[in-house]
């Protein structure tokens, strides 16, 4: 579900920076009431229409508070997009409470700025393991070698996701059609990030 995914992205970013010490996010639901969003650690529950936006707004304010003075932190694009798409960047009814909870936590704790792991990047971008591995194999340590080799179905999936494109041409002397698959700029950026994460986690 769209709303659940956006809320989860924001909650996971908070967990990444706080080692899971600030919130305890979960999702539930039953017939008639729709999806419920929980933060067990802070005794919060959101039910009914607008629950996803309210939960996202709460988590967005927590995230903004704990990272306000965090040197070197830049909100990842997928996190910012999730917040913007669900409307969490607007003022919410829980914002004051979220700010208080985050500020209180900051009195005895500090967020930890760490890079994404290979698995986190893979899941963020909706890649299967073969797709992520093929991306890392398509760049060398200096970000070169952008041609994509490997299983045809996996390459097609990268093209569908906009991470690669098919370049076609016809040979002058034979007239035969040729093609190869190469990474797009977005694909190269993600491949380099995956490669770096792979090396760190090795």
| Mean residue pLDDT across the chain | 87
* Cβ neighbours, 10 Å, residue 9: 21
> pLDDT at residue 32 above 60?
no
What is residue 22's predicted lDDT score, i.e. its pLDDT? Answer: 96
Range 98-114 burial, b when 16+ CB lie within 10 A, else e: beebbeebbeeeebeee
Reduce the DSSP state of residue 94 to 3 states and report it. coil
Measured over the CA atoms of residue 77, residue 80, residue 84 and residue 87, the dihedral's sign is positive
> pLDDT at residue 187 above 80?
yes
Going by C-alpha positions, the residue among 108, 24, 27, 13 that lies closest to residue 61 is 13
């Amino acid at each position: 579900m769209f709303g659940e995914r956006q809320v989860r992205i924001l909650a996971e970013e908070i967990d990444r920076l706080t080692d899971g010490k600030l919130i305890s996010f979960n999702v539930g639901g039953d017939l008639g009431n729709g999806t419920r969003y929980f933060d067990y650690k802070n005794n919060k529950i959101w039910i009914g229409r607008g629950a996803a936006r309210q939960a996202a707004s709460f988590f967005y304010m927590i995230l903004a508070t704990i990272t306000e003075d965090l040197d070197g932190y830049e909100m990842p694009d997928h996190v910012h997009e999730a917040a913007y798409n669900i409307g969490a960047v607007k003022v919410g009814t829980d914002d004051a409470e979220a700010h208080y909870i985050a500020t209180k936590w900051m009195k005895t704790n500090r967020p930890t700025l760490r890079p994404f792991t290979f698995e986190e990047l893979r899941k963020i971008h909706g890649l299967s393991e073969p797709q992520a591995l093929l991306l890392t194999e398509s760049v060398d340590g200096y970000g070169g070698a952008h041609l994509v080799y490997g299983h045809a179905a996996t390459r097609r999936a990268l093209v569908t996701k906009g991470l690669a494109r098919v370049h076609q041409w016809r040979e002058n002397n034979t007239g035969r059609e040729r093609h190869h698959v190469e990474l797009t700029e977005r694909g190269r950026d993600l491949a380099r990030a995956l490669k770096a994460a792979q090396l760190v986690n090795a």
